[in-house]
């Protein structure tokens, strides 16, 4: 095989989830001059997919054509600095789509799965946690019981979505439409829920909870202290990134392991928390920080400070992105747990080679590269919905805007 060069960079947008889920996936396909040698990467930014597509098609494609796809480190730096202003979520996701695709290509050239290129397996399977949500305690309990029967040992429990849900007063909602929740009601409902979960399932089940920034900082500290008695595996997103300094107060008052990072896009956001050992799990969204190249470096930094990884893995990450997470998990010694939402039948058909779950673990296949492909013809049958998301228009009962 002659030395390949990048021939084209294409963007595929698709929405293969259930109709009620606004799942807008962005997959990047880097094609080379070698017939049938291409790579796939995830650039999914569900809230702003068209901006990411524009960044790739209008700027990264002309920048990368004619270059050597095997020079991953150099190309990542080139993409990162070429716009001069850097480290925002749109450009980071655009870079990630290319970066993951380049790792996929390198694995195919080497005839090895990506985890081998990252140093080889540290484990055979990747421990996952699943989401147990419901409108009330009974529904959450039933969902947890179902996961336990499936062999899952780590479960994140929530009532009514992030922060719960309340119906606003009509006069307020008319002037300030949005997704309403009551922070005080949410905190009390959650404490009651976890009392019941520990009563029902005892102490062996690993329980997790996501605050999702829904409490004012002082209230969040008190909530963390009250949740300590449930011995959580971790408590996630206790504060928004802008209020990271509050982690020191929480750390001084409770021993609950803390997870943070899914909104991070820049090292200046995570380094103070890592250096201060103010969190226990790094939760970055791998595509939002620029792909596999920066994520493997971040994992190594965390290892030096005693932190574990728990990469963001919601339902609106493409199966390509999930595959990248799994390869990284397999080769990371300080791996902790992987968020997992599972795949629909349509996704499995659209993305042949999806990682497989057995019990409480997910397993990568041993195909070269990321081991996953894309049926573009099927992807075109599921176009992305238009419009803006509602759930990120969060408001408290008086109509004030809040962190989603």
User: Which residues form the catalytic set?
Assistant: 162, 212
DSSP 8-state code for residue 190: H
Give the CA angle between residues 39, 7, 102 to the nearest 5°. Answer: 30
Q: What secondary structure does DSSP assign to 312-365, as a single string?
A: ---TTS-HHHHHHHHHHHHT-TTB--EE-----HHHHHHSTT--EEETTEEE--
What residues have CB less than 8 Å from 336, skipping those under 6 apart?
281, 308, 309, 310
Number of H helices, E strands in the chain: 15, 15
Of 23, 2, 27, 44, nearest to 101 (Cα)?
A: 27
Q: What are phi and psi of 256, to 5 degrees?
A: -65, 130
In contact, 208 and 129? CB cutoff 8 Å: yes
Segment (H or E) for 32: strand 25-32
Strand 25-32, strand 38-42: pairing: antiparallel
């Amino acid at each position: 095989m002659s030395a390949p060069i990048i021939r084209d960079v294409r963007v595929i947008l698709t929405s293969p989830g259930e109709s009620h889920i606004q799942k807008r996936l962005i997959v990047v396909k880097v094609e080379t001059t070698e017939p049938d040698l291409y790579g796939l990467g995830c650039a999914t930014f569900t809230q702003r997919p068209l901006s990411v597509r524009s960044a790739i098609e209008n700027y990264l494609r002309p920048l990368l054509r004619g270059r050597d796809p095997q020079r991953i480190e150099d190309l990542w730096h080139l993409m990162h600095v070429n716009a001069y202003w850097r480290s925002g979520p749109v450009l980071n996701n655009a870079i990630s789509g290319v970066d993951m695709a380049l790792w996929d290509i390198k694995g195919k050239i080497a005839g090895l799965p990506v985890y081998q290129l990252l140093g080889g397996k540290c484990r055979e399977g990747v421990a996952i946690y699943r989401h147990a949500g419901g409108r009330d305690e009974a529904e959450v309990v039933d969902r947890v019981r179902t996961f336990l029967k499936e062999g899952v040992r780590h479960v994140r429990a929530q009532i009514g979505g992030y922060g719960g849900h309340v119906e606003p007063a009509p006069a307020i909602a008319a002037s300030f439409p949005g997704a309403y929740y009551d922070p005080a009601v949410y905190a009390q409902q959650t404490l009651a829920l976890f009392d019941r979960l520990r009563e029902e399932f005892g102490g062996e089940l690993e329980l997790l909870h996501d605050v999702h920034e829904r409490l004012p900082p002082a209230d969040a500290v008190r909530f963390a202290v009250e949740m300590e008695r449930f011995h959580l595996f971790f408590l996630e997103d206790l504060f928004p990134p802008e209020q990271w300094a509050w982690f020191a107060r929480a750390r001084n008052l409770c021993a609950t392991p803390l997870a943070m990072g899914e909104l991070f896009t820049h090292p200046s956001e995570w380094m103070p928390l890592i250096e201060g050992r103010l969190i226990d799990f790094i939760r970055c969204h791998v595509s939002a920080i620029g792909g596999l190249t920066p994520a493997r470096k971040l994992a190594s930094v965390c290892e030096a400070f005693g932190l574990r990884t728990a990469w963001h893995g919601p339902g609106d990450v493409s199966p390509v992105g999930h595959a990248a997470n799994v390869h990284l998990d397999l080769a990371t010694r300080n791996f902790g747990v992987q968020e997992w939402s599972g795949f629909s039948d349509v996704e499995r058909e659209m993305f042949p080679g999806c990682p497989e779950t057995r019990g409480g673990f997910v397993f990568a296949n041993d195909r070269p590269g990321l081991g996953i492909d894309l049926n573009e013809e099927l992807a075109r049958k599921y176009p992305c919905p238009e419009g803006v998301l509602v759930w990120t228009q969060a408001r408290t009962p008086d109509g004030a805007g809040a962190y989603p």
